[in-house]
């Protein structure tokens, strides 16, 4: 039982328990983490991870402090130090270093001569390791960051496909599925889709075109899929090709070559116009045969910005307005898509039917909608004066107005066959590999070395008394040297007075028959 109650034996046991535990912990944490691009990733909230690191550092530092007597006892054996020789001051400094482990007193003890210097260096190594572990802990705190990983969860079947009407007329421009020259049957629905505020449909700008998709699910989703319509528009300025010129007064006319369907007209007769040139009337069926893509000659007029510079494709009229001609086309297709974490990927399913393509063509000429597109890109014309940039901007807005008008009458309801995947979030901690390695090495190897040194203390248990003596308070050492310490309450004197008196004494502390023997000179 006397061995179990010894702080040295307890230090040996605690040191090895801590060494084995921290080694197992390091291996477990290393296997639990994943390395990506010289970073280690753990599925753990960063605050909890850093708390574990802090607790581990503080616990190992406490264990090292508790092991000091056992480490010193081991050094008595390794260094073959049977006695403590030196002045009272040297031994007092060694005792102070072993108890307080302050930086200044430990440094002083390391500069002593004799065998006490080895013991002081051992104490200093424990102190240095504790500071190094704290620095490694701080480095890990600075470099470790947290992130939220978004992962797929449960798959939910849902009506995610667009059901496009198949009963629309392709024989008259006056009315086909709620769209015609007389106007739009459901302008409110068209405006919501155009402004992307619809509860059921959404406009997606990407891949050089405009997608019409289902609105995303209300639940937080990792991914959702469905079918939709994709319009890929393009426009090019043709004012010079069609010889658009301001002749006189209200005459700003143009005449296009045969390659542009020999279209001619006067831009001042109307503010804007979409002239579809790709329709062919079939007399036998009395219906229109539509082509894909849709072709159109577009007339656009704006007031002139006096401070802007325009390229020659913008033609100034006699009365100061600007006119420009565009050749535009829209290629349409039915697609299926998957939106994963806000990124859309689509693949073609086919083309619209002739009647659906006819509705799309009529939708592109709905005045109220394409006029909005013209108004929305007017700033591009004035701010850049570049007809190519303007044509590209108008193409996208025209396609957006077209699909919004198309959806107000031709898209009837949701279809089956698709669904969405719920999103699951996972908190993760990311730390640089160098910071993790430095911390793992600092927290494990020195402690293992100290534990090995402690084992040597078991070879000579008589040295335990010397080690325990070094770890006793300096006041007891002073009382041992001077039998009259009670006189005038000498123990309550200042430490400087005690140190002055100790300097006059040379000590030789040894073990004799299991007890300390102190021989003093002076």
Measuring CA to CA, how many Å separate 360 from each of 168, 194, 357, 408, 482?
11, 15, 5, 11, 110
- Tens of pLDDT along 430-444? 999 999 999 999 999
Lowest mean pLDDT among 86-90, 286-290, 406-410, 476-480: 476-480
Q: Are 290 and 357 contacting, i.e. CB atoms less than 8 angstroms apart?
A: yes
Dihedral sign, Cα of residue 194, residue 198, residue 204, residue 210? negative
Confidence of residue 462 (pLDDT cuts 50, 70, 90): low
pLDDT-based confidence at residue 328 (cuts at 50, 70, 90): very high
CA 45 from chain center: how many Å?
14
Residue 134 predicted with pLDDT over 70: yes
pLDDT tens digit sequence for 463-472: 666 666 666 5
How far, rounded to the nearest angstrom, does the alpha carbon of residue 386 sit from its chain's CA centroid?
A: 39
| pLDDT tens-place string over residues 43-101 | 888 989 999 999 999 999 888 887 877 777 777 777 676 666 655 666 666 666 666 66
Q: What is the pLDDT of residue 504?
A: 59
Domain boundaries along the sequence of the chain: 7-148+426-521, 171-415
33, with CB counted inside 10 A (0-12, 13-18, 19+), is: buried
What integer best gives the mean pLDDT of the chain? 81
CA distance 457 to 459: 5
Across the range 292-312, mean pLDDT stands at 91
User: Which of 144-158, 244-258, 449-463 is most confident?
Assistant: 244-258
Band (486; pLDDT cuts 50, 70, 90): very low
351 vs 2, residue with greater confidence: 351
Query: Is pLDDT at 426 greater than 80 in this prediction?
Result: yes
Q: Using 50, 70 and 90 to split pLDDT, how confident is the model at 491?
A: very low
Alpha-carbon separation of residue 226 from 217, 416, 487 (angstroms): 11, 9, 97
Dist CA 203 CA 102 (whole Å) = 69
Identify the pLDDT of residue 29: 86
pTM recorded for the entire structure: 0.65
């Amino acid at each position: 039982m006397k061995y179990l109650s010894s702080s040295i034996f307890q230090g040996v046991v605690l040191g090895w328990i801590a060494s084995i535990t921290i080694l197992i912990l390091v291996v477990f944490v290393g296997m639990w983490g994943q390395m990506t691009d010289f970073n280690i990733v753990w599925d753990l909230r960063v605050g909890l991870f850093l708390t574990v690191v802090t607790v581990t550092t503080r616990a190992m530092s406490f264990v090292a402090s508790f092991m000091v007597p056992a480490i010193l006892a081991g050094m008595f054996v390794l260094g073959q130090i049977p006695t403590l020789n030196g002045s009272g001051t040297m031994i007092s400094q060694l005792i102070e270093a072993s108890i307080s482990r302050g930086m200044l007193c430990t440094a002083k003890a390391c500069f002593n001569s004799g065998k006490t210097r080895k013991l002081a260096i051992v104490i200093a190594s424990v102190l240095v390791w504790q500071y190094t572990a704290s620095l490694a802990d701080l480095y890990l705190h600075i470099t470790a960051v947290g992130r939220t990983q978004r992962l797929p969860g449960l798959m939910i079947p849902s009506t995610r496909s667009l059901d496009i009407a198949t009963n629309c007329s392709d024989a008259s421009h006056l009315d086909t599925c709620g769209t015609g020259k007389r106007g739009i049957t459901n302008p409110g629905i068209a405006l919501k889709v155009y402004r992307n505020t619809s509860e059921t449909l959404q406009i997606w700008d990407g891949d050089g075109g405009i997608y019409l998709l289902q609105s995303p699910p209300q639940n937080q989703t990792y991914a959702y899929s469905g079918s939709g319509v994709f319009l890929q528009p393009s426009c090019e300025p043709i004012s010079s090709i069609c010889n658009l010129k301001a002749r006189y007064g209200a005459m700003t006319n143009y005449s296009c070559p045969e390659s542009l369907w020999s279209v001619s007209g006067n831009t001042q007769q109307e503010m804007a116009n979409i002239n579809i040139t790709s329709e062919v009337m079939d007399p036998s069926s009395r219906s229109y045969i539509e082509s894909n893509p849709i072709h159109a000659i577009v007339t656009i007029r704006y007031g002139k910005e006096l401070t802007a510079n325009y390229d020659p494709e913008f033609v100034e009229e006699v009365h100061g307005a600007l006119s420009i001609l565009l050749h535009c086309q829209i290629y349409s297709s039915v697609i299926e898509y998957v939106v994963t974490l806000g990124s859309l990927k689509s693949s073609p399913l086919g083309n619209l039917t002739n009647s659906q393509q006819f509705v799309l063509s009529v939708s592109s000429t709905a005045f109220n909608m394409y006029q909005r597109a013209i108004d929305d890109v007017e700033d591009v014309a004035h701010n850049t004066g570049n007809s190519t940039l303007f044509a590209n901007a108008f193409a996208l807005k025209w396609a957006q107005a077209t699909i919004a008008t198309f959806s107000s009458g031709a898209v009837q309801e949701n279809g089956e066959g698709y669904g969405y995947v719920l999103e699951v979030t996972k908190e993760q901690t990311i730390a640089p590999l160098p910071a993790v390695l430095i911390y793992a090495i600092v927290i494990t190897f020195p402690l293992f070395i100290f534990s090995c040194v402690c084992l040597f203390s078991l070879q000579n248990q008589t040295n335990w008394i010397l080690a325990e003596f070094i770890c006793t308070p300096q006041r007891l050492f002073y009382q041992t040297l001077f039998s009259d310490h009670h006189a005038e309450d000498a123990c309550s004197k200042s430490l400087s007075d005690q140190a002055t008196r100790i300097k006059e004494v040379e000590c030789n502390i040894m073990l004799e028959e299991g007890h300390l023997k102190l021989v003093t000179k002076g």
